[in-house]
Amino acid sequence: MSTAPALATATVPASRHSAEVAHPAVGAATGLLDAYTPGARFLATPTRTLLADGPVREVPHDTHPLTERVTETLDAARREGQANPVVIGAVRFDQNAPAALAVPERVQDAPPLATDPLIALPADLRAETQWDVVPVPAPEVYGAGVASVVDRMWRGEFSKVVLARTLELTADAPLDLPVMLQRLARRDPSGYTFALPTGTGPTGTEYTAAGRTLIGASPELLVSRRGGKVVANPLAGSTPRSADLAEDVRRAAALLASAKDLHEHAVVVDAVHGALAPYCTTLDVPAKPTLIRTATMWHLSTTVTGTLPEEGAASALELASALHPTPAVCGTPTLTARQVIAETEPFDRGFFTGMIGWGNADGDGEWVVTIRCAEAEGRTLRLYAGAGVVAASEPEAETAETGAKFRTFLHAVGADQ
């Protein structure tokens, strides 16, 4: 096994599919989770837990490719004495829009949350919050949008599009982001939990003031690179979980046999294969998907692994940029799906269905699909959820699927009662 990329002194596994750390320090990962305060950058993955605070070097926004700007920012940090600079942050659904990426002067690094026994302890609860919840668009409007898209598919205009909807939550008191982060992380410590400052909201909405935070817990790895090894884990095809064990197993089995969901998943896996193939010397794509589960959903999952050339290998961010957006969050063909999304969704996605993650100056890193998330500011949260629409989709089912996906965050804020 190759040496893990150096962020600090912790040694961690290469991916969520790797062996656990032999002797993780008890409390090291949960200590960083406990130390999070709004404005800091927190990211927990199946390989490590990161907390960055203090001064940062922002990655500028200009006409140069994002990967070039990130490389230049990391190189500048190295020239000024940082031994192992790391970029951390978020990229929008629209890669041409300003990202929220920075190279912090200090990054604390610990083993994964899942290896810390203290993660099993419950999160502290704050006083009960009263929430005003407004769906945008209304569920019936979202369903009508799904029906319209399905009609266009039957006319042969395109084959898939991912349609999203939002919930706008307003609290009766300022948001307690550390408690939300605790509840997200402790509910699924083996996933990808994050809280990242994003500055300003989507252009053209009321969410344009500074001081915004992107917070969430995504189940989906877009791509990771560790030395010459590449891992991608596309998810597509989902069903809500059930509290009844027998029903939960029935739903999982039905998903694994669903022609509609298997087709939707295959489209995404083929796209991932096509995007990674030019960068890899070998690429292994399993013939059939497996299942992964979160607290609220079952997903069809395929783990794609590859090997990079010894010379001129692409960085993790270059690979992620080549993959983004996959049909799992956009649709196919991509340009047509983007246009349909713009015509149908009555909001700017911003960072939702973009990517969040970290990367170092050696090209290693992890980039995650930004789902199961919300954008937070003051007393307001905007939650996002999407569903893949294909010709066999039914409006009621897709509306229910997005409702189930909202449950991850609704639970974290205590609004799921």
Q: Which residues are catalytic?
A: 160, 220
CB 358 within 8 A of CB 315: no
d(CA 114, CA 42): 15
- Name which of 320, 339, 275 is nearest 65 in CA terms: 320
d(CA 372, CA 384): 7
Residue 312, amino acid: G
Q: At what angle do helices 259-276 and 316-323 cross, to 10 degrees?
A: 130
Alpha-helical runs (H) found in 86-222: 139-154, 177-187
Q: With left for phi above 0 and alpha for psi between -120 and 50, is residue 350 left, alpha or beta?
A: left
CB 353 within 8 A of CB 329: yes
Q: At what angle do helices 139-154 and 334-344 cross, to 10 degrees?
A: 150
In order of 9, 52, 87, the CA distances from 103 in angstroms are 18, 9, 4
Neighbours of 128 (CB within 10 A): 10
Residue 218, strand partner residues: 192
Residue 359, strand partner residues: 87, 365
**φ, ψ for residue 267, nearest 5 deg:** -60, -45
Strand segments, DSSP code E, in 10-156 are 41-44, 49-58, 86-91, 100-110, 131-136
